[in-house]
Amino acid sequence: MAKQLSRTAPGTSHPWLVPGIVALGVLGVLTVLTLTTVEGMAFVGPFHAYLSAVSGPASFALPVAASLIGGWQLRQLLADRHLDNTRTRAPLARTLRRACWPTALAGGLLGASVPLTTGLLTLTLLPARGYTFHPDSYYVQAHEIGTWNQQAVAAGELAAAHPWLFVVVHSLWVGLWCALLATFTQALLLIVRRPFTAFLVPMACVTVTSVALALARLETFTPTASQFPTFLSRFPWWHVLPAALGMILATGAAWWWVARRLPDLPEV
């Protein structure tokens, strides 16, 4: 039994390798798609192109995928030290803290990197390549673009001050959300022990929350509107709080369940 519990899964000595490759691959695809799909599309300006490119669940898919690696590492660690660490809850709590926070931090950084990368592409590279914007297609004059940016989205005053200010705040908020999602996903993987389920449930929670808030007329129906109102919607700042509070409660409940189950945690 001791030998069985001490086995380590192949490749777990470099747990950063798989999420790193996934992150680079997704960011590479995002870069290519952003630069190639905008041709022939009419945008008011660079900020409009940013809003169109950044809307979607890509910011969340990266950290959730990375947290699956971290969650599996956590299961392996607890199984390897099952006999020593399941006698009381105090050692288990220390093990959880050591194993959980690096993946949560990595998930936050991965999530924040997507808006920043998109901002670099749309606000800097597109104008540098001579891309032609067409504000007249939206009945907007060139001198009215700043006003359009402010009226296009919630927190539009940030965009009116400077589009990059909006991008930075957006990235920070998405990073916090993704760190929370990574923490939730790790707990979920400990509970369900199925990586595919642990990947789908957080994404489903985000979508269901968005639908519920949209039906309550608290947001527009977009995949990430619950997390940050990026796409053509004017809502007050507090609009981002219900979904965030709901995910905080879900994360706390998941880890509370894990704490109750840990003494009887099955072997990996």
pLDDT along the chain (268 residues), means of 10: 39 51 65 60 80 70 75 73 51 71 88 88 85 75 78 74 88 87 87 79 76 68 44 59 84 88 60
Q: Per the domain annotation, does 238 fall within a domain? A: yes
Q: Quick check: is 159 in a domain?
A: yes
| CA dihedral for 36, 42, 46, 50, sign (positive or negative) | negative
The string of DSSP codes covering 138-194 is GT--GGGHHHHHHHHSTTHHHHHH-HHHHHHHHHHHHHHHHHHHHHHHHHHHHHH--
- Between CA 20 and CA 22, with CA 21 as vertex, the angle to 5 degrees is 90
- For residues 84 and 107, give the distance between their C-alpha atoms in angstroms, rounded to a whole number: 29
Please list, in sequence order, all residues whose beta carbon lies within 8 angstroms of the beta carbon of residue 112, skipping any fewer than 6 positions away: 171, 172, 174, 175, 178
Angle between helices 89-119 and 46-54 (to 10 degrees): 140
Which residues lie closer than 8 Å to 240 by C-beta, 6 or more apart? 173, 226, 227, 228, 229
Two structure tokens written together for 95: 């093990």
Q: Is residue 7 part of a domain?
A: no
For the entire predicted model, the pTM comes to 0.74
User: Domain of 130?
Assistant: 17-262
d(CA 263, CA 95): 13
Cβ(35)–Cβ(125) under 8 Å? Answer: yes
The Cβ-side half-sphere exposure at 24, using a 13 Å CA radius, reads 5
The answer to the question of residue 92 being in a domain is yes
Residue 249's pLDDT is 92
109 in a domain, yes or no?
A: yes
The reply to whether 268 falls in a domain is no
How many structural domains is the chain composed of?
1
Q: Which 3 state secondary structure label does DSSP give 197? A: helix
The answer to whether residue 11 is domain-embedded is: no
Q: Provide the token pair at 72.
A: 């599996």
DSSP 39: T
Ramachandran region, residue 13 (left: φ > 0; alpha: ψ -120 to 50; beta: rest): alpha
- 99 inside domain: yes
